[in-house]
Structure 1
Amino acid sequence: MSTRNSLSPWSYKPWWCQPWSILLTGIIIIASSWMLLDPLWLRILVSCPILVWWFYFLLLWPELMRRSGGLIGDDQSPEEATPQVRKSELN
């Protein structure tokens, strides 16, 4: 049975840039704006950039990282993933 390594771009990010922290921060900001701000247009003005931020960092960016091929598998060290060039190949 073959096991497929899951390449996760999140393993390269610090704790404050993980999906749970991005969602939690956005939810707190949106909820606060809906509790503290009265005009609906101002609430929407606060919510829209956060929804765009979520779309980019939670959906689009991870997929772009996977497609780029720049992620290192679990069974590879960074040295193995970096192409090695010999001096004889440079001449």
Structure 2
Amino acid sequence: MNFKPLGQRVLVERLEEDTKTASGIIIPDNAKEKPLMGTVKALSEEVAKEGLLKAGSQVVFAKYSGTDVKLEGKEYLILKVEDLLGTIE
């Protein structure tokens, strides 16, 4: 993929959420909430210079943030750095 975010933005792929509860109940697609965690797939040069994130970092982001895009058949989210709440190590 040759997508390069501009400004203070990153491209994130959401982590998949479980389709079953711990007790084995299957959750239908329309009842699931989108996960608020993902993996950074690409970042702008400005963000890369700061050194806080890199491709492959797992991040947590705000609920109503970002723009959904579909690239090469996959769903991604373009987020501003200020919408990122933290990283998961």
TM-score normalised by length of structure 1: 0.23
Query: Which has more helix, going by share of residues?
Result: 1
Query: Which has more strand, going by share of residues?
Result: 2
Instruction: Pick 1 or 2: higher relative contact order, CA cutoff 8 A, min separation 6.
Output: 1
State which structure, 1 or 2, has the greater radius of gyration over its C-alpha atoms: 1
